[in-house]
Amino acid sequence: MVTVQENYYAQPELAARYDADADGRRDIPFYLALVRELAPSSVADVGSGTGLLCSLLVRADSAGMKVAGVEPQQTMLDVARRQPLADRVEWIHGTAADLPAAALDLIFMTGHVAQYFLDDAAWAAVLQDIAQSLVPGGRLVFEIRNAAAEGWRGWNDDEPRPVPGGSLRRSTTMTGDLATHIDEWTIGARTFTTRETLRFPDDATIAGGLDAAGLEVERSWGNWDGSPVTPDSPERIIVARKLPRDPTAGTGTAAFRLH
């Protein structure tokens, strides 16, 4: 049986297996360690997907930290509500715009969610929403694949490759800074075709959006091993702090260094 479903996350069978497909994610332990260091009293994960990070945050918490998961796709949110300790998470069916104002110490965008904002206007809008939801001095933490490293080139499959319970064949094309991959999934007796487009913004675009929102880069890394940002490092992992100023001022404080 062939099912054409453009959105991976909207297909219940695929949403339910997302954590298995993403097994071995290096961002999760990195971010859990960062939360232990920062010790926030309130955290939200924007684009929380299956809620894995939220579940692990409440599992590790002993100080009554408030945790919220924000997810626009109902099928993913259904999975999240079945995670261990899901009753201790506030689940929000929506976007960053649905977060309360000036209420959060720390906001995440994990799983390369920041690459789903496909132009400068969308990038600026989500950062403005996040900045409005942070308390002064609050932090946004996210990662974006380094455009210059062209990691998308390694996404293509000549032949189907094994995934848990089946196989996957991926074809990727690049137009400007937008990478579109079409995935052909075979899971048991069923076949699914999904399509996704991600943006690979350059460093100046990332920094410009942060600056316009009044978010100053506090720290950055180039990979999950904690190595510094370099021109060819695979990631841009960024901690940005909300400044006590007019977010429209644009003082140019956001740019992060290439070491």
Q: Which residue has the higher pLDDT, 68 or 63?
A: 68
Task: Write down the pLDDT at residue 247.
Answer: 47
Candidates 110, 76, 130; CA nearest to 235 is 110
Whether 198 has a pLDDT exceeding 50, the answer reads yes
Specify the range with the lowest mean pLDDT, choosing from 42-51, 91-100, 196-205, 249-258. 249-258
Task: Write down the pLDDT at residue 255.
Answer: 53
Q: Which fold has domain 2-15+149-199?
A: N-terminal domain of TfIIb (2.20.25)
Whether 76 has a pLDDT exceeding 70, the answer reads yes
Task: Give the pLDDT band (50/70/90) at residue 248.
Answer: low
Could you say which of 3.40.50.970, 3.40.50.300, 3.40.50.2300, 3.40.50.150 is the CATH number of the domain covering 25-146+201-242?
A: 3.40.50.150
Task: Write down the pLDDT at residue 142.
Answer: 98
Task: Write down the pLDDT at residue 246.
Answer: 56
Average pLDDT over residues 155-173: 92
Q: Which residue has the higher pLDDT, 107 or 192?
A: 107
Task: Write down the pLDDT at residue 13.
Answer: 75
Whether 258 has a pLDDT exceeding 50, the answer reads no
Whether 21 has a pLDDT exceeding 70, the answer reads no
Q: Which residues, listed in sequence order, are joined to residue 181 by a DSSP beta bridge?
A: 172, 196
Q: Which residue has the higher pLDDT, 192 or 87?
A: 87
pLDDT per residue over 26-40, tens digit each?
999 999 999 999 999
Average pLDDT over residues 243-249: 65
What average pLDDT does the structure give for the chain? 90
Looking at mean pLDDT, say which of 20-29, 59-68, 205-214, 240-249 comes out highest.
205-214
pLDDT per residue over 120-135, tens digit each?
999 999 999 999 999 9
Average pLDDT over residues 160-166: 88
Task: Give the pLDDT band (50/70/90) at residue 19.
Answer: confident
Domain range list for the chain: 2-15+149-199, 25-146+201-242
Task: Write down the pLDDT at residue 153.
Answer: 95
Average pLDDT over residues 182-210: 93
User: Percent of the chain scored above 70 by pLDDT?
Assistant: 90
Task: Give the pLDDT band (50/70/90) at residue 173.
Answer: very high
